[in-house]
Structure 1
């Protein structure tokens, strides 16, 4: 049986310097999908100038951030001394844990001739027991991302987070969670079965697609019901399409989100701000 659609939305658009950001999660219908509490989509855009000053240093506590760059180059700095640079198709994960300040440069990929930028940033909520852990950072290049060719050369699937048919991401799992990048050639389809009580959503990048017999537009965020069932993706376009499918088990602990912090109570949010202003998150010294 195919899963029913709960809702679809196109999110809110904002500009961040030269970048066009579409905030897909949270939205007016949902505050989370499994452990995922935030999703910004950096829409395709040409960037002519290399930025070395960062997008603006800011703190986090209680979450892990995940940047997945489809096209472009992202350089990371943080107050724990971690640095890293990923290129088109790469991803980087940062556990904020008990507090960190970080910054990123989003630029075109210096290893290619393209000046296009396109990508995602997710926030993954940490269980209460992990929110007090020390910060960590992992940078993964495109050739290190687990990838599988689909049957009948229908396309491919990349495992950004979680597991799929013997493939496992290097990103740590603190709960049952998954994030897949599905690439389908024209006229092809892909199906996946998900068990009961798993929260799941899809995001369509540049082309329309058929999800469980209903057509959705490029730029739409689509969430499905929690009953066990199948999600079928069909490509009706004349070109290849890309779909991001993500979710996981329901997060049952209280969630209080305020600015860059995601904790379990308002008191913990107040402490997070107090510690930040007291300088306990450190400073970025290696830029």
Structure 2
């Protein structure tokens, strides 16, 4: 069983623009000896947007809630909508609405400009809005890859049923997993990635215990998006981010490290809790390269970072 190292979550929420009320649970710029990029590699930043109610916006067409055009370079942004809807548009022509349960996987690569707002439909009606956004690092050989946009609909994600381990003979289904990215016992997720990454959207709706398997070569994190449960026997609740123990050493010279050895994570849901439990499992093979980041750019060296800002200032951004 993969041991729990720390449980994080005591971050103050803040606004991103006027549409996203989030807690930044991972930040590669922080120098916390117990929880820094070495423990989360390849994940750079993680914003948890707890459920927040928005009133209908009378100016939803001309002044939607969100954040206007801004740049990114050297990594990918991944946005998952739990409640509400997000409209995206970028400088490559990629655009669309991220509906409930959908994922936007945007590769900034050598440079992209994009904007994110509440959709017109959500702005008009208002309601509960909840999302998460993750920054995923790119290895040096792919830092300057061409930008691209993956719109991943819920219907395109493989869905795996979770069985109650404590009564396996009855094959009682207590939840399900949507495979956004990665591999679940040979079933491949909907997203394409540059390095080995698992991103699994987990929901438990009935009492019981189930186990999920993660590669022991991966840095592994688990967000409690909604509800309460036991993880490896430890009580956790919405807003907690679990950091599991360090992975085993990876042979960085291998292009395709073996993922045949796994660790288990035990999830126990009690009917004493209210509603459905929602979790997001993140695991990734560490890239193991130096990181130089500032604001919306993440490169490998300070000189590359300075060049990124120069390119942006003189109009060569993304070229």
Q: Give the TM-score, by structure 2 length.
A: 0.82
Contact map agreement 1:209 1:216 (CA 8 A) in 2: yes
Aligned to 1:172: 192
Q: 1:156 to 1:255 in 2, by over 3 A?
A: same
Q: 1:167 to 1:72 in 2, by over 3 A?
A: farther
C-alpha displacement at 1:53, in angstroms?
Answer: 7.1
C-alpha displacement at 1:109, in angstroms?
Answer: 5.6
Aligned to 2:215: 195
Contact map agreement 1:186 1:238 (CA 8 A) in 2: no
C-alpha displacement at 1:188, in angstroms?
Answer: 2.2
Deviation string 1:75-118 (CA, Å, 9 cap, x unpaired) is 11111222122211111111111011111112486599772211
Contact map agreement 2:19 2:67 (CA 8 A) in 1: no
Distance 1:6 1:247 in 2: 15
C-alpha displacement at 1:186, in angstroms?
Answer: 3.6
Contact map agreement 2:152 2:191 (CA 8 A) in 1: no
Q: 1:19 to 1:212 in 2, by over 3 A?
A: same
The answer on 1:254 being equivalent to 2:290 is yes
Structure 2 residue corresponding to 1:142, chosen from 144, 150, 154:
154
Unaligned runs of at least 5 residues, structure 2: 164-171, 249-261
C-alpha displacement at 1:170, in angstroms?
Answer: 2.8
How big is the alpha-carbon RMSD for the aligned residues of Structure 1 and Structure 2?
Answer: 2.2
Q: Secondary structure at the match of 2:192?
A: coil
Contact map agreement 1:108 1:115 (CA 8 A) in 2: no
Q: 1:210 to 1:34 in 2, by over 3 A?
A: same
Q: Secondary structure at the match of 1:154?
A: strand
Distance 1:62 1:12 in 2: 27
Distance 1:114 1:240 in 2: 22
The answer on 1:37 being equivalent to 2:44 is yes
The 4+ residue runs of structure 1 with deviation greater than 6 A are 111-114
Deviation string 1:254-282 (CA, Å, 9 cap, x unpaired) is 11221111111111111111111112237
C-alpha displacement at 1:173, in angstroms?
Answer: 1.8
Aligned to 2:7: 8
Distance 2:98 2:288 in 1: 33
Q: Give the TM-score, by structure 1 length.
A: 0.90
Contact map agreement 1:34 1:251 (CA 8 A) in 2: yes
Aligned to 1:285: none
Task: Look at both structures and tell me which one has the larger radius of gyration over its CA atoms.
Answer: 2
**Count of residue correspondences:** 281
